[in-house]
């Protein structure tokens, strides 16, 4: 009669050829610890460079505001060209760092679209994020910014140095928006978020640190706006973490910046509408 006592049974199979017990590896949950995508020295130097550039950007923006440079409505390619050069230089630095580590760009982005359904899903997610971000940022600005800063005419005046005044300006602004959507999502939500997560061993800390660095890059708009945009970066980071790719973030980022530039363009060309709105 067969012995059914479980204590006497051998749960591990025996190879019939070698008569050696095979070891069964324990099941895993499929999750692995975050891995660095570049050397930490590369990341440290890049962080230092970005903080320095944020400082220069803030100083330069303040000088333009003080000189009234934004009142000139003629087209100047130099208004946006430095931003385009810096963005793609930043992309190149990140690409060189990950390539040296043996990491592919598609691994940073999270792969490309597999089919039309995958593409449409990212469009839907990006649209939902865009609407949610508009509401969230409006509430945060209401809470953190002084009442006078919320005035539309004040906001337009403060953003005058980068506001588009002509159709050529608007075209360049949208080009900058497309560049920012691709580059900033790759750099912050791809490179930095993965690096900080690997360094700290925590995805949450990686998201927070990347968002803080993103916010610091917008300090030229004011300290409180840097905090608001840091939270904006946090939202992008959470979406990238759960979606496991940067595609909807890139789409939403491009749409958000293009929308903001288009609104600036429209309101600078029709300042009378602001006055009418105040008396409504």
For 201-251, the pLDDT digits (tens) are 999 999 999 999 999 998 888 888 899 999 999 999 999 999 999 999 999
Which among 260, 236, 226 has a CA at the least distance from the CA of 145? 226
pLDDT of residue 273: 61
pLDDT recorded at residue 105: 95
d(CA 81, CA 67): 20
> How many other CB atoms sit within 10 Å of the CB of residue 226?
19
Cα distances (angstroms) measured from residue 139 to each of 81, 142, 145, 216: 32, 5, 10, 20
What tens digit of pLDDT does each residue of 251-267 get?
999 999 999 999 888 88
Contact 96, 179 (CB under 8 A): no
User: What sections of the chain are H helices per DSSP?
Assistant: 40-67, 81-101, 105-109, 116-144, 152-158, 167-184, 193-200, 203-216, 223-243, 247-269, 271-278
- Separation CA 263–CA 243 (nearest Å): 30
Q: For residue 244, what pLDDT is reported? A: 93
Dump pLDDT digits (tens) for 127-185.
999 999 999 999 998 898 887 666 666 776 777 778 888 899 999 999 999 999 999 99
Residue 69: per-residue pLDDT: 60
CA–CA separation, 34 vs 203, rounded Å?
8
Q: Give the whole-angstrom CA distance, residue 132 versus residue 136.
A: 6
**Alpha carbon distance 39, 47 (integer Å):** 13
pLDDT in tens, 22-58: 444 444 444 577 889 999 999 999 999 999 999 998 8
Distance CA 31, CA 228 (A): 32
What mean pLDDT is predicted for residues 91-106? 96
SS3 275: helix
Question: What confidence score (pLDDT) does residue 22 get?
Answer: 43
Confidence label for 276 from pLDDT (cuts 50, 70 and 90): low
Q: What is the pLDDT of residue 160?
A: 72
Residue 89 contacts residue 28 (beta carbons within 8 Å): no
Nearest partner of 252 among 244, 241, 260, judged by Cα: 260
Categorize the per-residue pLDDT at 17 as very low, low, confident or very high, splitting at 50, 70 and 90: very low
Mean pLDDT over each residue of the chain, to the nearest integer: 83
| pLDDT at position 275 over 70 | no
pLDDT at 15: 47
pLDDT for 62 equals: 81
pTM check: above 0.85:
no
Of 152, 122, 138, which is closest to residue 232 (Cα–Cα)? 138
- 6-15, 18-27, 44-53, 266-275: range with highest mean pLDDT: 44-53
Tell me whether residue 184 is exposed, middle or buried, using C-beta atoms within 10 angstroms of its C-beta: 0 to 12, 13 to 18, 19 or more: buried
Mean pLDDT of 186-196: 97
pLDDT for position 134: 92
Q: Which one is predicted more confidently, 280 or 181?
A: 181
């Amino acid at each position: 009669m067969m012995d059914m006592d479980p204590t006497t049974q051998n749960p591990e199979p025996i190879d019939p050829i070698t008569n050696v017990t095979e070891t069964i590896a324990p099941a895993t949950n499929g999750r692995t610890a975050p891995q660095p995508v570049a050397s930490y020295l590369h990341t440290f130097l890049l962080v230092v460079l970005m903080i320095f550039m944020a400082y220069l950007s803030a100083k330069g923006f303040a000088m333009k505001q003080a000189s009234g440079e934004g009142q000139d409505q003629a087209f100047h390619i130099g208004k946006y060209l430095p931003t385009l050069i810096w963005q793609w230089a930043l992309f190149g630095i990140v690409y060189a760092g990950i390539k040296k580590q043996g990491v592919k760009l598609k691994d940073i982005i999270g792969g490309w679209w597999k089919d039309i359904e995958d593409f449409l899903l990212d469009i839907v997610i990006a649209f939902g994020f865009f609407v949610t971000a508009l509401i969230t940022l409006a509430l945060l600005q209401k809470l953190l910014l002084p009442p006078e800063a919320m005035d539309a005419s004040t906001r337009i005046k403060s953003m005058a140095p980068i506001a588009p005044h002509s159709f050529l300006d608007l075209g360049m602004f949208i080009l900058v928006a497309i560049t920012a959507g691709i580059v900033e999502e790759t750099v912050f939500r791809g490179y930095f978020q993965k690096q900080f997560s690997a360094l700290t061993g925590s995805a949450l800390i990686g998201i927070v640190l990347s968002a803080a660095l993103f916010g610091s890059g917008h300090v030229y708009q004011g300290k409180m706006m840097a905090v608001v945009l840091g939270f904006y970066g946090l939202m992008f980071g959470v979406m990238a973490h759960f979606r496991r790719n940067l595609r909807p973030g890139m789409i939403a980022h491009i749409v958000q910046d293009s929308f903001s530039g288009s609104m600036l363009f429209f309101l600078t060309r029709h300042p009378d509408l602001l006055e009418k709105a105040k008396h409504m």
